[in-house]
Structure 1
Amino acid sequence: MPRTARVPDPSYELMDDHEGHSLIYRQHGFPSPLVRWHFHKEYELHLIVASSGKVFIGDYIGNFSPGTLFLTGPGLPHNWISQVDEGEVVETRDMLVNFTDEMLENASAVFTELKGLAPLLARAPFGIEFRDPQVIRQSEELMQRIATSQGVTRLGHFLILLELLAATEDYQLLSGLTSSELADEHHVERINRAVDFIFQHYAGELSQEEVAEHVGMTPTYFSRFFKQATGRGFVEFVNRLRLSKACELLSKSGRPVTEVCFESGFSNISNFNRRFQQFKGMTPSDYRKLVAQRLTEQNLY
């Protein structure tokens, strides 16, 4: 059975390992203590290299798989939860580069060419997913070079990477809310317990009262707290998680729509079809056809 790792005590993440460097490179596997709902002052460029699962960025809920690339802005809460088998360990799941506003602002004052990155950085507070397969392949190559280099060479690869991402027009903004509205350390610590519980139970019957009891709150207080912390009401959050699962199943399997409906956690096919139409602007069957068409187009290049 697929499982998720239990995530203890998440909060603001203080990255104190800059050690005088302009940027931080990290890579880690799954499970990992770094996999938690958290935020930090740095931008984060995040490439998935192994496993699939659910991504939470601000109030956005979506899917990730190998080759998905995201950029989050300072203070924007985020988490990637892999769906793996019991006992499965992913050796290297993520490649990450973290950098600060201060570094780029100071550099732009000297090197005016860096001001061309401003539109990219202005979009980052909402979270960005990059979509162009060629851009993602080039980004992975540049991140590998960042991982294996030091000094000015590493910085050079990083700036080329940012220039590449700033130039692409194939991207999606993710969160409807920005970091200033969601980044609260006390909320992050408690909301992670709720999100973790919801993630493990959303495919079955799940009530707000159950989650409130799990985190030690009254249902009324939990309802206000949850919406303030995630930007979405409980029912909407759960439905979006279920719809995200439905999109994953429609994209990666040929299962009948009715089966996708029930496996995603919906108990009524009419309700599922209606909510899917609202979520994606098309029927589940049309969504499946569109995904197949896009995959065919990508394979032509």
Structure 2
Amino acid sequence: MNRASRITDPSYELMDDHNGLSIIYRQHGFPCPLVRWHFHKEFELHLIVASSGKVFIGDYIGNFYPQTLFLTGPNLPHNWISQVAEDEVVEKRDMLVNFTDELFESGHQVFTELKTLAPLLERAQYGIEFRDPEMIRQAMVLMQQIADTRGITRLGHFFILMELLAASDEYLLLSGANNTQLADEHNIDRTNRAVDYIFAHYARELTLEEVAEHLGMKPTYFSRVFKQATGRNFIEFVNRLRISKSCELLADGDKPVTEVCFESGFNNISNFNRRFQQLKGMTPSHYRRLAVQRLTEQNNA
């Protein structure tokens, strides 16, 4: 049985522990109070080191695994929900670094070399997933060096890591909506509870009315709040989550496509095929062939 963390703390995260430092390093496991649909003023460089599950960044829904690396910009809502067994605890799931715009806006006036990072930071407002396995391996080493050091040495490792990321051309921009469209402190906490509920129940028949009732909201009002916070209407959000699940099943096993369809939450194969084609630009069978080919190439590298 999969479990979604049911956290209802305020979803604007105020990081008041800078203590005059330029960057904040943190690591945590799952479940954890930090795992929720939330946003904050800081950039976040986020490395997954254990477990797999669903990532939500802006209006993007995708899969994460160990050794996946993301960068999110200021006020861009995000969450990573691990798919784990009931009562399973992941001691160390995430390694992350937070930093603000001010670090680079002030820094490049003194160190002109920092201006080369501007395109990377601009892209981050939509969320970035890095896709180069060799670069990610190097990033993991640097992230550990950041964890193990303090002061100027830590800052040095951080800038080397940022330069590495800025030079990479193997990345995916994630959200079609940016931070200014999605960040809303009042609505996002309710959306956090809605996303948790949807994540726990999307594999069965699930209606907007059911989720609205769970939140104690009228369906029309919930629909408006949900779209404002996620950039997607309810049906589109659920379908994207189901297609993301189907991609995971297609890539990781040899279940028949029909079985993948129903396990992902769709109730008929024609609707599943149509939605998959719309979102992925190919059939489920074609996607599976490409996933197997990609895995074979990685294993032979």
Q: Could you say which TM-score interval applies, normalised by the shorter chain?
A: over 0.9
Distance 1:11 1:200 in 2: 19
Q: Deviations over 1:88-118 (max 9, x none)?
A: 1000000000001001111111111111001
Distance 2:223 2:250 in 1: 31
Kindly tell me the number of residue pairs found equivalent between the two proteins: 301
Equivalent residues of 2:5, 2:36 under 8 A apart: no
User: Hey, what does 2:205 align to over in structure 1?
Assistant: 205
Matched, 1:167 2:186: no
Letter in 2 for 1:49: V
The correspondence of residues 6-85 of structure 1 with structure 2, limited to 5 A, is 6-85=6-85
Match of 1:3, SS state, is coil
Equivalent residues of 1:10, 1:37 under 8 A apart: no
Distance 1:61 1:286 in 2: 21
Match of 1:109, SS state, is helix
Letter in 1 for 2:218: T
Give, in angstroms, the shift of residue 204 of structure 1. 0.2
User: Hey, what does 1:127 align to over in structure 2?
Assistant: 127
Deviation larger for 288-297 or 78-87: 288-297
Give, in angstroms, the shift of residue 179 of structure 1. 0.5
User: Hey, what does 1:92 align to over in structure 2?
Assistant: 92
Distance 2:300 2:166 in 1: 25
Q: Deviations over 1:146-180 (max 9, x none)?
A: 00001111011000000000000000000000011
In structure 1, runs of 5+ residues without a counterpart are: none
In structure 2, runs of 5+ residues without a counterpart are: none
Distance 2:197 2:300 in 1: 42
Equivalent residues of 2:4, 2:197 under 8 A apart: no
The correspondence of residues 127-166 of structure 1 with structure 2, limited to 5 A, is 127-166=127-166
Give, in angstroms, the shift of residue 195 of structure 1. 0.8
Matched, 1:248 2:248: yes
Distance 1:118 1:39 in 2: 21
User: Hey, what does 2:112 align to over in structure 1?
Assistant: 112
Deviation larger for 130-139 or 290-299: 290-299
Letter in 2 for 1:115: K
Q: Deviations over 1:179-221 (max 9, x none)?
A: 1110010111111111111111100010110011111111111
Distance 2:76 2:3 in 1: 26
Equivalent residues of 1:10, 1:192 under 8 A apart: no
Distance 1:221 1:242 in 2: 24
User: Hey, what does 2:278 align to over in structure 1?
Assistant: 278
Give, in angstroms, the shift of residue 297 of structure 1. 2.1
CA RMSD of aligned residues (A): 0.8
Deviation larger for 115-124 or 10-19: 10-19
Runs of 4+ in 1 over 4 A off after TM superposition: none
Equivalent residues of 2:7, 2:33 under 8 A apart: yes
* Residues 45/102 of structure 1: CA separation in 2 closer, same or farther (3 Å cut): same
Match of 2:17, SS state, is coil
Match of 2:97, SS state, is strand
Letter in 2 for 1:133: P
Equivalent residues of 2:23, 2:98 under 8 A apart: yes
Matched, 1:187 2:203: no
Match of 1:84, SS state, is coil
Give, in angstroms, the shift of residue 298 of structure 1. 2.2
TM-score (norm 2): 0.99
Give, in angstroms, the shift of residue 9 of structure 1. 2.3
Equivalent residues of 1:130, 1:172 under 8 A apart: yes
Distance 2:13 2:19 in 1: 16
Give, in angstroms, the shift of residue 2 of structure 1. 2.0
Percent identity over paired residues? 75
Letter in 2 for 1:201: H
Q: Deviations over 1:41-89 (max 9, x none)?
A: 0000000000011100000001101011000000000000011101110
Give, in angstroms, the shift of residue 4 of structure 1. 2.1
